Every structure is written in C-alpha cells, then in structure tokens.
Amino acid sequence: MAHPLAEYQEHSRFLFFRQTGTIQTDSLEQMAEVAVALDYLPRWTGKNVVIPGTGGCVGVEAADSCAKTALHLSALSPGLLKRLREHIPPAGNMIRNPIDAHILLLDLKRLGPVLELLAKETSVDLFLISLHFDWLQDKGDGAHAEQIGAYIAEEARKHIGGKPLAAVWRQYQPTPKIEATRQTVEKTLIQARIPVYNGLQRALTALSKAEAYYAFQEKEKQ
C-alpha cells in the first residue's frame, strides 16, 4: 500500500506538469533529445506522423511506438495511395504508413515527389525518415548512404511544405564501416539542424513531447 504522503507528492507533481505545460522527461538523454526537437524544428501542432524510408518490419514497431506516445500514424487516403504507386512499384515496397519502400532511398529522384504528395495531405503533420544502415551500407560501401544524408539535409525540406522533418536510424551489425557511415550521416543531418534519433521509440517520444508543449502553448492563447 502506497504511503499517503507519497501519493500526494506524486499527484502534486502530475498537476504541476499538466497545469504549467512543463515537459517531463525520464532521463538527461531524453531531455537532450526533446531539446533538439524544440531547437531544430519549426513550431507545429498536430499529432499525425508519416514515416517514409526503409526499415524492415518497421510497421509493427511504429504502431507500438506510437501507442506509447501521443502521436499517430497518418491515415493515407485511397487517392494518395494511388498517386504514391506512380512513384513506388509494388514489388518489395509497402505504401501504407509507414512507407517501407527501400527504392525511395536507392533512387533519390523518387523521394522528392513522394514527399511533396505527402506534404499536401492534411492528415500529415510531421515527417520522420527511416534509415536502416545495415541495408544502406551495401550500395557503394556507404557512399550512397552519405548521399542520402546530403539529400535529406539539402533537398528534402524543399518538398515538405514547411512541415517538420526528423530522421531515425537503426543499425544491428556493429561493424566499423557501418558505424563510420552512420556517424557521417548523423553529422550531416545535425549540421543541417535536422533532429536524428536512434530508434523509433526514442524519436517518437521526443517529438511527441515537443508537440505537446506547443499544443499547450496554443491552448493557453485561446
């Protein structure tokens, strides 16, 4: 049985965060990840996120991760799915959010038009590009992955209509070459003020807390 004083302190803490809009984090690392989102991204409200890129079974993980935060996977309309198919062939590519389409990163000419289509959707508030470095390393021994990082840093924002954009990565093979490639891409994105996170749960948690902070401020203005 919980001690009454402990229950009171916990309730008081809950009310403090709820009434002031102060962001509650669970660690210094999470605090830094939220701070990056607040510093790098434009102010926005809206909980619907679209996750294009590559990941392998990213759909289940994305759904589970969103369920643990206040964010939601954007529901893409039938009309949009039809238009996406003009750029993303069916073989080996999923176009229902998350858009698990490796070809978008292998052939970067396809990525810009796809981002533009998604940006026009009112159901999309936030972009989170997924990068799987174990897969990306194979093309050009990491050189193509670095080109992807440069594209996201320099070109991607031109196609998203001013909506916030972040990146998330995964790496399972701890090989020095893949590690070096990942660090180079991370540095490129950070220099371009694009938040980049290790894993979907950490990314969605940080972005969810940033969005909740902006939503609280907007509510206070009313």
Q: Does residue 124 lie within any of the structural domains?
A: yes
Domain count, the chain: 1
CATH number of the domain bearing residue 185: 3.40.50.261
Q: pLDDT per residue over 133-189, tens digit each?
A: 999 998 899 999 999 999 999 999 999 999 999 999 999 888 999 999 999 999 999
Q: pLDDT per residue over 10-67, tens digit each?
A: 544 544 455 566 788 889 999 999 999 999 999 999 999 999 998 666 767 888 888 8
Q: Does residue 187 lie within any of the structural domains?
A: yes
In this prediction, residue 16 carries a pLDDT of 44
Q: Does residue 8 lie within any of the structural domains?
A: no
Q: What is the pTM of this model?
A: 0.89
149 close to 189: Cβ distance less than 8 angstroms? yes
Q: How far is residue 92 from each of residues 15, 78, 88, 191, measured CA to CA in Å?
A: 48, 20, 10, 33
Q: Does residue 77 lie within any of the structural domains?
A: yes
Q: Does residue 23 lie within any of the structural domains?
A: no
Q: Does residue 12 lie within any of the structural domains?
A: no
Confidence of residue 72 (pLDDT cuts 50, 70, 90): very high
List the domain range (segments joined by +) for residue 41: 34-221
Q: Does residue 17 lie within any of the structural domains?
A: no
Pairing of strands 48-50, 99-100: unpaired
Alpha-carbon distance of 80 to 96, in angstroms, equals 10
Q: Does residue 182 lie within any of the structural domains?
A: yes
